[in-house]
Amino acid sequence: MRRVLLALASLALLSAAALSQDPGLPAAQAAQQAVMQTQQANLDAMRQAQQANEDATRQAQEANENATRQAQQAAQVPILPVAARPEFSLKPGSYSGPVTVKIREATRGASVYYTTDGWTPTADSSRYTGPVTLDSTTSLQAIAIAPHMGQSRILSGLYTIASANKPSLPATSSELPPTPTSGPAVLPKGTMVPLVFASAVSSKKADVGDKITLTVEDDVVVGGWILVRKGTPALISVTGAHKSGTLGVPGFVSFDALTLDVNGTTVKLRGTVTKQGPEIQANPARIGLTLVPAGVFLIHGKEAEVKAGSVLRATVAEDTPLPHAQ
């Protein structure tokens, strides 16, 4: 570029000298001036093109640096510490009779929450306040939550109870009277309503806001009367859904119970459940070959799968008068 500028400057000086020796050639001088203007325009265009090329190169470098920085941040372990996973006092397995299990936490100030129905525990689950007695086959799961810390990993165990003393079965529909026909029937607040999934739901395909129709698993009996029949339709909503990810991060999906339709009467329900996929621990010593330059593990977590037949135990949100049996 410097050589080109020097050559053009020399040519301009020579042209000026030649014209000064021949003042009688105004047309030639005008032509020479036009040539110089054209050359100057070409120089300006060259400078602009060079500047644009430098700007494009700089922007590409910045984009690459940002992408690398984001990949490194995604691969970093979260700074927020997590609570230690709790422990069961009794090893999961098969037992001949009822067992009592204590849940111990190792993080000072942590609270433990647990479930016994196969759903993933959350801060809305039962809080552990003392030993849990299991008198039938149960999937026991627990987490620890501590202030200013992340939730612990999930502790789970299956306790198979082979008890000779089986609980008595509830009365069947044929043994109970239908909804009373004299006076209003009221479905009380807090009444348990078991809802069953007709088909499977996966965190891979679920989206927040999806509405799913479930049915009542069995007759709901209050005061010796059948107030809600088995098979009555109910509506729930997907309130959280995330697909599984790298670093072994599992998927999860959560639901809120919404309403129950009893012969045209809408009954408001309450109930929240969550399902998380199996955890996979990314062990660098075992999967070192799966590292990419940015440091992100290629190992992928498992999706949360809610199987057909799973039960969501909702409760009635408020006292609700029901129509008489038809």
Q: CATH number of the domain at 260, please.
A: 2.40.128
Give, rounded to a whole angstrom, the gap between the first and last alpha carbons of the chain.
Answer: 96
Co-location of 195 and 95 in the same domain: no
Distances in whole angstroms, Cα of residue 247 to Cα of each of 143, 242, 256, 290, 317 = 20, 15, 29, 11, 40
pLDDT in tens, the chain (326 residues): 556 555 555 655 555 555 555 555 566 667 777 777 777 777 777 888 888 877 877 777 777 777 766 666 655 545 668 899 999 999 999 999 999 999 998 888 899 999 999 999 999 999 999 999 999 999 999 999 999 888 899 999 999 998 655 555 555 555 555 555 444 589 999 999 999 999 999 999 999 999 999 999 999 999 888 999 999 999 999 999 999 887 778 999 999 999 999 999 999 999 999 999 987 765 544 444 444 444 445 677 899 999 999 999 999 999 999 876 44
Contact 160, 95 (CB under 8 A): yes
- Cα 62 from Cα 155, distance rounded (Å): 44
pTM comes to: 0.65
Co-location of 291 and 189 in the same domain: yes
- Where is 104: in which H helix or E strand? strand 103-104
Co-location of 202 and 297 in the same domain: yes
Co-location of 134 and 266 in the same domain: no
Backbone angles phi, psi at 107, to 5 degrees: -105, 125
Co-location of 126 and 184 in the same domain: no
The pLDDT value given to residue 214? 97
Reading the block at residue 271, the tokens are 């109930």
- Given 135, 161, 187, the domain boundary residue is 161
Backbone angles phi, psi at 308, to 5 degrees: -60, 135
Co-location of 192 and 288 in the same domain: yes
For residue 116, tell me if it sits in a domain. yes
3-class state of residue 1 by DSSP: coil
Distances in whole angstroms, Cα of residue 161 to Cα of each of 78, 87, 97, 133, 140 = 40, 20, 6, 11, 13
Count the neighbouring beta carbons within 10 Å of the beta carbon of residue 225: 16
Co-location of 135 and 276 in the same domain: no
- Given 161, 185, 213, the domain boundary residue is 161
C-alpha of 39 from chain center: 63
Nearest to 222 by CA among 266, 182, 179: 179
Co-location of 123 and 225 in the same domain: no
Per-position b or e across 87-126, b if 16+ CB within 10 A of its CB = ebebebeeeeeebebebebebeebbbbbbbebbbbbeebe
> Residue 223 is part of which domain span?
173-322
Co-location of 148 and 190 in the same domain: no
Number of structural domains the chain divides into: 2
Co-location of 104 and 242 in the same domain: no
- Where is 20: in which H helix or E strand? helix 2-20
- Given 129, 161, 193, the domain boundary residue is 161
Co-location of 308 and 240 in the same domain: yes
